Structure 1
């Protein structure tokens, strides 16, 4: 579950209280602001929609969308997210200039109450479906600097603007268009690929998104004054006495450093040479591409 970062209301405390009063007023008085009424067809899910799926399953709803000039795969449909999210690695692969990001101070609060501050927001054109039953909308994504199995998340802001209905049992999303109901099927194979990728992530990668990331600065220490190119790096997070003691120790033992291949004589070639176990009597063959 992801809370915060919503584009529908301001992020200030006063704006959130005002929005809460508006909701309470609607529930108590049953009066809602007038909106343009449009007759939409009824959206329903049927047992035949669940065909061509492996059952039973508890898979997430993952599919591909057209985002700007790119077909973006591994996009998660998340009814539990109050924000549309684009992960920074995907943002970089799309070749978007980082200067286009609009700064935002609204944090995202995830499972466990941890907070993540986005790099900024960006509005991109998103197209789903095929002509003529397709819709194109501008979606404001919060860009999060974290490597994840998914490239992005479509949350409630976009799903509500599409008037979309989702079914995790059918792994399908349906929404109205000017030419009838359009349906999109989730990719069950992509869902499991994302799941396996997340399981294989290192523990430190899993916690990066919920911990404050420290910038580690390193100091450059010269070990031989006569040869200034011989340097080493020491983290400045260590205290000054520890850095001084470590630098002195390295200077006293710099004779064990191998600065080039010439400093490593007598190494058996079998350590470095790789041999192919092939039959020398068989001539090599070049196959067609």
Structure 2
């Protein structure tokens, strides 16, 4: 009898086993973009995903001196229930106290609104004009207008943090994503409404502001009034189906006009065009007077690269005639000038126009 009681007592002290997970039909994944570590483009993200199984942390680089971050019910003494609030905090960024900062571990980038940057007294010239694509939950894409690096203070730690700038809805001034969370070695908890992170002087924490979080949520849920655009009547433009060639001066200055014009309208149009022949560029010599302030052709050559000498290409007699005729026309018009170079610069490239010439 004593033996049986002892057996039952040992069975009662055995901890219950964890039940197996329920069966699943498929796995649904979601990946957000915008991280320089995870890849800012599809090709970079594809390469990082392919290397994930290879890049494993080594035990000799792990820092075991980092204190353990724990959460318990005592951390929730300030939490107002019931709540499904996001974690919204305030931080000194640059020389300003920035409120309405969302801690979002679902974001692959630290995001700052353009309006926040302007309120900090910083101009768009202070940021780097580098654009990346941020991908939202439903697949919508948003192009950034630039990026900026600013010191961000958190309980004694001052980290240089890179922010991407977007011109969008300023519900939150800043959204702190995984780059900042990982640099801080922090663990956020919306359940406890607190962010904990290790420092040389022990574990520090930043408590979320639920009233601000709920105000931001209310603002994001406000319906957007979309004014219906007034429909403007569409004017149907119909062009002539057939064109007729008209010689304005008798010396091969020809234009195309509609073939279905009335006799009076055609005569008036031809007279109007004839009195304004100087408005047309009939040849190369007619466009030599364009001011460099209007347009200038320039070759951007990088002097740090070694010039490459192309091998001279020989053309057939027919192509040589085309090249010579064009060069002579340009020389006659004063658009080109003859210069002797000891080496070939580039070969002529002949491109056929739509009119077959």
Q: Is residue 117 of structure 1 aligned with residue 143 of structure 2?
A: yes
RMSD: 2.7
What is the distance in 2 between the residues matched to 1:54 and 1:85? 28
What is the distance in 2 between the residues matched to 1:182 and 1:31? 26
**Selected match of 1:98 from 124, 127, 131:** 124
CA deviation vs aligned residue, 1:246-276 (integer Å, no higher than 9, x gap)? xxxxxxxxxxxxxxxxxxxxxxxxxxxxxxx
> What secondary structure sits across from 1:45 in the alignment?
coil
Give the corresponding residue for 1:178.
200
- Give the structure-1-normalised TM-score: 0.65
Q: Is residue 107 of structure 1 aligned with residue 133 of structure 2?
A: yes
CA deviation vs aligned residue, 1:206-243 (integer Å, no higher than 9, x gap)? xxxxxxxxxxxxxxxxxxxxxxxxxxxxx9x968859x
> What secondary structure sits across from 2:98 in the alignment?
strand
Name stretches of at least 5 consecutive residues in structure 1 with no aligned partner: 206-234, 243-289
Give the corresponding residue for 2:102.
76
- Give the structure-2-normalised TM-score: 0.53
Give the corresponding residue for 1:226.
none
> What secondary structure sits across from 2:52 in the alignment?
helix
The verdict on how the C-alpha distance between 1:18 and 1:33 changes in structure 2, with shifts beyond 3 A counting, is: farther
Q: Post-superposition shift, 1:67? A: 0.4
The verdict on how the C-alpha distance between 1:194 and 1:13 changes in structure 2, with shifts beyond 3 A counting, is: closer
Greater relative CO, 1 or 2 (CA 8 Å, sep 6+):
1
Name stretches of at least 5 consecutive residues in structure 2 with no aligned partner: 1-29, 237-357
What is the distance in 1 between the residues matched to 2:157 and 2:226? 39
Please say if residues 109 and 177 of structure 2, whose CA atoms lie closer than 8 Å, have aligned partners that are also in contact. Answer: yes
The verdict on how the C-alpha distance between 1:48 and 1:33 changes in structure 2, with shifts beyond 3 A counting, is: closer
Q: Post-superposition shift, 1:160? A: 0.6
1:198-237 maps to which residues of 2 (within 5 A)?
198-204=220-226
Give the corresponding residue for 1:250.
none
Please say if residues 40 and 133 of structure 2, whose CA atoms lie closer than 8 Å, have aligned partners that are also in contact. Answer: no
Whichever structure has more strand as a proportion of its residues is 1
Q: Post-superposition shift, 1:63? A: 0.7
